[in-house]
Amino acid sequence: MARMNRPAPVEVSYKHMRFLITHNPTNATLGAFVEELKKYGVTTLVRVCDTTYDKKPVENESIEVIDWPFDDGDPPPSKIVDDWLTLLKTKFSEQPGSCVAVHCVAGLGRKRRGAINSKQLLYLEKYRPKMKLRFKDPNNHKNSCAIV
């Protein structure tokens, strides 16, 4: 089996929302990548880079794969931000505690200083929430959260 020599995935949790930020596998490392997704209980995988591997083995494990590519190093287009927020609102209201994984080309920004470039930083400084994620958590408490 091919060995994955990439940064380890990073899990981010907020209330009943879980995210896994991970690397972009190759077809050679796909088996180990799928096992890692299953270990974290991933139900949806969002790819924000050009397709570099076959998504069938991921989908065969009942993990939905969504492709929303945009240029590496750029902030996401408004349409992708809107689609992302809609996905999260739907996913976490229907399946609280589930995990959504996302990856770009290498995911290096998770592990090194200076990884956010000036275009991305400017985008984050000027970002204003377009919509809030509002839904009841499993304990019937009202929650709101804005996620970029």
Active site residues: 72, 104
Which of 39, 35, 146, 42 has the alpha carbon at shortest distance from 85? 146
To which residue do tokens 């996905």 refer?
A: 87
Q: Which residues pair with 22 in a beta bridge?
A: 103
Extract the tokens encoding 130: 């377009």
What is the maximum alpha-carbon separation in the chain?
Answer: 46
Q: Return d(Cα 42, Cα 63) in angstroms, integer.
A: 7
Burial classification of residue 138, based on how many CB atoms lie within 10 Å of its CB (0-12 exposed, 13-18 middle, 19 or more buried): exposed
